[in-house]
Structure 1
Amino acid sequence: MGKLVIAAGTGFLGNVLVNHFKNKFDEIIILTRGETKISDTIKYVNWDAKRLSGWENELENTDVLINLTGKSVDCRYTVHNKKEILNSRIDSTKILNQAVLLCKKPPLHWLNSSTSTIYRHSIDKEMDEYSGEIGDDFSMNVAKSWEKSFFEIETPRTLKTALRTSIVLGKKGGAFLPLKNLIMFGFGGTQGSGNQFISWIHEKDFARAVEFIINEKLTGIINIVSPKPIKNRDFMKTLQKSLKVVIGIPVGERLLKLEAIMIGTESELVLKSRNVIPKRLNENGFNFEYGDLNKAFDNLIKKL
């Protein structure tokens, strides 16, 4: 393939994609808040994700644009943080829309981050792209606004895909390391009721799914999750077993909320039931390499 541009490509998911695609594209450009430089054949170009300043020229003749921009939701939902979470997603998507429309030869395909958190808390129903029920709270409203800002501007020469991504399990980032540490300290039991579902995906399948979407030219909304959501209690037991840890003290909802305050995050990240399935990936023939949680954990632990 030709040219890949990743906006905000220096974080965990950006590194996962760069490692996956570095030998598959002739040219990779990362839009970053850091300095403009070239390192290991990858070009880093400074941008502030809010305004045009010259970086937009890098979008010319691009085959694939992937936007991963957005302040982490792993924080307290203060008024300030809520504003940053929303604005970081909307501002970057709007300015990229503007930049794409200005291109003489715009990107052929633009994949924009979204989140599987857009669906309501669900114990009773699996959420797919067709019949999934979207709820109404801060996190879900951010996701709705994010996707609206992406799709509301028509880009006739650029395909558009929103990636409703779940928890990505990886060796060097995402949820795996803090969960592993929790279990190693003996606090890896059920979190809250344990009935809430976790939708997850192995980092390699995340990158493979992105490549599949590009190759198949899939557009619209796609859930980037493993085939089968798993209840929290079973997820934690499986990780305990993989790490060969016997003791797993459960943590109730009240204590979880207190701990969340102490470490500067929100208990919703653990307590919300994300019961999401990848219907569009499945019906288009995508094969998961790590669709089984035991296999996913074994792979991640062997790499440690």
Structure 2
Amino acid sequence: MNKKVVIAGGTGFIGQFFEREFIKLGYDVTIISRRPQHVSWENEEAIVEALNHAELLINLAGKSVNCRYNEKNRQEIMNSRLMTTNQLGQAMKRCTAPPKLWINSSTATIYRHAEDRPMTETDGEVGSGFSVDVATAWEEAFFSFNLPNTRQAALRIAIVLGNNGGVMVPYQNLVKFGLGGNQGSGHQKFSWIHVEDLFRVVLFLQERKDLEGVFNCSAPNPVTNQELMQNLRSVMNIPFGFPAPKWMLELGSILIRTETELVLKSRWVIPERLQKEGFNFTYDTLDKTLQDILTA
């Protein structure tokens, strides 16, 4: 019988990548989703059955934050994370043979806007505002479950880069249409992780049975927004890009129904714990990451 992995909220860009990679490694993958072909969030018995005898549970569920933060969307963003995490925790308690490891996604946005120093797990300062409230409530819900036979790890994930998905598509479009200059001041830090490295972090934590708690999942060499846009233009062979000052971004974000925080917040996040424990990033620099994604 094959080993089993359960991915909750596994139909997005990261979940689909994880599913493909686990299948390559010979795992049976069960997805919990609102889509009809998967185990339904409405079916508690099926969720317990899926989790029983699984090696690993990965929870990626939650409404996308790429939207306007109006009251309805705020509630959906918060509830979609807390309800699914609580549901999984309750199902885990009912398992006779629960997964040995439960990995829950969190976000690097939990830290404050930082242009002065990097944020690590030990000395990072939690910020304020709606996105931070979501992140802290999400982690609290996750760690409120005390499961004697299951290790728990919350991944504070930076912006995930990979082929054909995630944020790469809108960034490429900006550059393509001549808008690949600085966004805002250009000094804000951009922390990212290649989707392959994120998958390797999961395997690393699965193997290292002594590790649990919170981990920053971001490549060790963050760049400024200015360096990000320069790198993108260089790899895409587009010599020039108009900058987008803050007022223009505010206007544009209303039109495309998103929030400027996604590009203007300075995320300066360092994966201190992973590095201390000996994890090596395949894509440790932005240049390597973009070369792989855009020239593949």
> Shared topology, TM-score over 0.5?
yes
CA separation in 1, counterparts of 2:45 and 2:74? 26
Equivalent residue number for residue 10 of structure 1:
11
CA separation in 1, counterparts of 2:271 and 2:56? 22
CA separation in 2, counterparts of 1:105 and 1:159? 13
Mark the runs of 5 or more structure 1 residues left unpaired by the alignment. Answer: 37-43
Equivalent residue number for residue 135 of structure 2:
143
After TM superposition, the structure 1 = structure 2 runs for residues 239-258 of structure 1, keeping only pairs within 5 Å, are 239-258=232-251
Are the counterparts in 2 of residues 196 and 272 from structure 1 also a CA contact under 8 Å? yes
1:192 counterpart letter in structure 2 = G
Residue 110 of structure 1: SS of its match in structure 2?
A: strand
CA separation in 2, counterparts of 1:25 and 1:273? 39
* Residue deviations 1:80-102 (CA, integer Å, cap 9, x gap): 00000000000000011100001
Shift of 1:53: 4.7
The correspondence for 1:56, drawn from 17, 38, 48, is 48
Equivalent residue number for residue 62 of structure 2:
70
Equivalent residue number for residue 46 of structure 1:
40
Residue 174 of structure 1: SS of its match in structure 2?
A: coil
Residue 18 of structure 1: SS of its match in structure 2?
A: helix
Residue 204 of structure 1: SS of its match in structure 2?
A: helix
Equivalent residue number for residue 32 of structure 2:
31
After TM superposition, the structure 1 = structure 2 runs for residues 1-304 of structure 1, keeping only pairs within 5 Å, are 2-36=3-37, 44-48=38-42, 52-217=44-209, 218-303=211-296
1:11 counterpart letter in structure 2 = G
Residue 31 of structure 1: SS of its match in structure 2?
A: strand
The 3 A distance-change label for structure 1 pair 215 and 292 is same
Q: Which runs of 4+ in 1 moved over 4 A?
A: none
CA separation in 2, counterparts of 1:201 and 1:165? 8
Q: Percent of aligned positions with the same letter in both sequences?
A: 44
1:266 counterpart letter in structure 2 = E
Are the counterparts in 2 of residues 117 and 140 from structure 1 also a CA contact under 8 Å? yes
Residue 58 of structure 2: SS of its match in structure 1?
A: strand
Are the counterparts in 2 of residues 4 and 25 from structure 1 also a CA contact under 8 Å? no
Output the aligned Cα RMSD: 1.2
1:280 counterpart letter in structure 2 = R
CA separation in 2, counterparts of 1:290 and 1:254? 34
* Residue deviations 1:220-245 (CA, integer Å, cap 9, x gap): 00011000111000111011101110
Residue 212 of structure 1: SS of its match in structure 2?
A: helix
Residue 121 of structure 1: SS of its match in structure 2?
A: coil
Using the size of structure 2 for normalisation, the TM-score is: 0.97
Residue 54 of structure 2: SS of its match in structure 1?
A: coil
Equivalent residue number for residue 40 of structure 1:
none
Shift of 1:25: 4.1
CA separation in 1, counterparts of 2:162 and 2:180? 18
Mark the runs of 5 or more structure 2 residues left unpaired by the alignment. Answer: none
CA separation in 2, counterparts of 1:64 and 1:93? 15
Shift of 1:149: 0.2
Aligned residue pair count: 294
2:80 counterpart letter in structure 1 = S
